[in-house]
Structure 1
Amino acid sequence: MTNHKRRTSLKDLAQELGVSIATVSRALRNSPEIGMEMQEKVKALAKKLNYRPNPFAQSLRKEAPRVIGVVVPNLVTHYYAAVLDGIEDEARKAGYSVISANTHEDSEAEVRAIDNFISLHVEGIIACLSQNTTDYSHFEEIAQMGIPLVFFGRTCLQDRFSSVMANGDVAAQEATQHLIDTGSRRIAFIGGPNHLDMVRRRKHGYLEALRENKIPIDRNLVICEKIDYDWAYEATKKLLDNHADAILAFNDIITFAAFSAIKDKGLRIPDDVALIGFTDDVHASYVTPRMSAIEDQSHEMGIESCKLLLKNINGDTKIYKKIVPQKLVIRDTSAKR
């Protein structure tokens, strides 16, 4: 049976020598920043391990088009597809092509995607964290290498990288206030992992609305664990058993899991249980009853992310924090009769 061994990467050389990827990269390019002894060590190991620079990457450095890489957690959702569309539109105007990598919400896939983009010598990277990423060392390595990077949506290391985010805290507070104003009192929140800044911001807005209206916070009505349809469906059933009369859902996957669980329980939306989700207008408009939703300007978020990356590529090293507002669209699932 043939043994398929993967190609040696810059990261492999760096780990073998106990140095950074940046050191290896510079040594292979005969950079004067790297001493001759280290250059010789790197080149000898590269020869021994049959390291070969990616010919595709080499051609990109010599010829058009120039390329940026985009890392997303779940490309099949409308949100990430629309963000990517915005990035591509803006990149195209500046003469860049876009390569995307879908991590499927897996941190190891995210690390591999970043490593591949480094090997391809993309000119910059736009990224959104996978839901189980808690180790940011691969992004710290990007900073050390001086590769331009911008985060959107779910971010980290905000003191080192520019970011584009929505005002999820403000939007969640406005949505929760609407639920209170239209008769709901036992309002629940279903979110993803608590370590994600996006989850924390949205939960904060929900809690602020409860506090401002002097509604006691019931911990049994707040469930934050992961972004998964089956999990969210079961979480919704628990909330209904705890007599939730309204639910604010973190994203489209959780929103439609909650929608299904409420209906499968034989309950009426919104009369028995009101529902507002962070989702897009396409899906929200095509269910019955039509979904009240907090909608992202996802295409605009892609455009703004690309603009910040291009600034960085062109030498602007300032750290920017751009907010793209969300909008609450009231339809049929949120106001009790």
Structure 2
Amino acid sequence: MDKKRPISLRDLASELGVSISTVSRALKNSPEISMEMKEKIKKLAKKRNYRPNPFAMSLLKNAPRIIGIIVPDIVTHYYSSIISGINDVARKNEYSIIITSSYENYKLEMQCLEDLINIRVEGIIVCLSQETTDYSHFEALYDQNIPLVFFDRVCLIRKFSSVITDNEDSAFHAVSHLIETGSKRIGFIGGANHLEIVKQRKHGYLQALRNYRIPIEKELVYCKKIGYESGYDGAHALLSLPEPPDAILGMTDSLAFGAMKAIREHNLRIPEDISLIGYTDEVHSNYVEPPLTAVTHQTYKMGETACKLLLKHIKGNNKVEQITIPCILSVRASSIKHQKKE
């Protein structure tokens, strides 16, 4: 017997000279199997350290009870917190999860999707990569009737359910906070313009400027890519303008942290010279100096909600739903030039 691989039902059956189905039923205490045979099989299973393979067993039943997840990365607290919410709901409903990462790459996202389909997951939860502009690989899932739910970065909202944050309102309130605490010229650093999340947060930024009758200046908007380096480059570009901003809203914390480095290289103080707000509220926001004001996402709740939606679809409810989870503005030292007057 090959000692390097886990013991299988086939191995136990072969050693005892019985069928695989007899071993399987005995381990499940089936009344069809005699007590003597059940005890014999269980004793051998314990001796050989047999552990059931949930994937193989589920495929035998033609009911995988596995949920696939595709995220842009699995390192940040943002995505890990969402995955925790998904996992807890999945386990309560006796599902397992498989986590894959696109690493913000369109082709890898397609490969992740194909891999999950090939192992016959019952449904998939997805956050789009930054590179994704063609959604045909998801259209194919719709045609195959495979349940799918998007979160955060979404598409095809008429065909698939999604869970998002209140992107427009949260950006509006963040910019309003900057204005009400002394900022007058506010820059915006975002990601690629094709992403719906970028469009919505930028729209909230612009709406706040209109609301306070502050002129909109295109040169104060820098939208390239989501990531630390882009935040750094964007802040350098904004601060090099003839009339630089006195505040910046970064639409993710990675953009804001990159901006923070650029601000220091320009020998400017936060918030006295330039106020700064980030998004998603990574745990690091509390530990940088000064602590970063951020739009806090209820990430765990997003994960819970996405998984509950997917399970509804798996059970046959085909109603498409778009659920918005509100954000909270966590005010810290990086944004306040002076206290708001009551």
**TM-score, with structure 2 as normaliser:** 0.80
**Structure 1 residue matching 2:70: 3-state secondary structure:** strand
Alignment of 1:33-72 (within 5 A): 59-62=57-60, 66-72=65-71
For 2:127, the equivalent position in structure 1 comes to: 128
Q: CA deviation digits over 1:245-270, x for unaligned, max 9?
A: 10000112111101111122211000
Query: Does 1:332 find its partner at 2:330?
Result: no
Unaligned runs of 5+ in 1: 1-54
For 1:40, the equivalent position in structure 2 comes to: none
Whether the aligned pair in 2 keeps the contact of 1:167 and 1:325 (CA below 8 Å) is yes
For 2:229, the equivalent position in structure 1 comes to: 230
**Structure 1 residue matching 2:85: 3-state secondary structure:** helix
**Structure 1 residue matching 2:117: 3-state secondary structure:** helix
Distance 2:68 2:316 in 1: 18
For 1:252, the equivalent position in structure 2 comes to: 253
For 2:10, the equivalent position in structure 1 comes to: none
Distance 2:333 2:54 in 1: 51
Whether the aligned pair in 1 keeps the contact of 2:78 and 2:282 (CA below 8 Å) is no
Unaligned runs of 5+ in 2: 1-52
Alignment of 1:119-198 (within 5 A): 119-198=118-197
Whether the aligned pair in 2 keeps the contact of 1:78 and 1:280 (CA below 8 Å) is no
Larger radius of gyration: 2
Q: CA deviation digits over 1:4-60, x for unaligned, max 9?
A: xxxxxxxxxxxxxxxxxxxxxxxxxxxxxxxxxxxxxxxxxxxxxxxxxxx996643
Cα deviation for residue 279 of structure 1 reads 2.8
Q: CA deviation digits over 1:61-89, x for unaligned, max 9?
A: 23587200000001111111110111001
Whether the aligned pair in 1 keeps the contact of 2:153 and 2:197 (CA below 8 Å) is yes
* RMSD, matched Cα: 1.5
For 1:278, the equivalent position in structure 2 comes to: 279
**TM-score, with structure 1 as normaliser:** 0.82
- Residue type matched to 2:164 in 1? M
Alignment of 1:23-38 (within 5 A): none
For 1:289, the equivalent position in structure 2 comes to: 290
Distance 1:131 1:56 in 2: 34
Distance 1:169 1:271 in 2: 27
- Residue type matched to 1:172 in 2? A
Q: CA deviation digits over 1:117-142, x for unaligned, max 9?
A: 11010000000000010000000000
Whether the aligned pair in 2 keeps the contact of 1:192 and 1:226 (CA below 8 Å) is yes
Whether the aligned pair in 1 keeps the contact of 2:231 and 2:250 (CA below 8 Å) is no
For 2:12, the equivalent position in structure 1 comes to: none
Cα deviation for residue 154 of structure 1 reads 0.3
Whether the aligned pair in 1 keeps the contact of 2:88 and 2:304 (CA below 8 Å) is yes
Q: CA deviation digits over 1:177-235, x for unaligned, max 9?
A: 01011111110000000111111111110000001111111100001111132222111
Distance 1:93 1:280 in 2: 28
For 1:267, the equivalent position in structure 2 comes to: 268
How many residue pairs get aligned? The number is 283
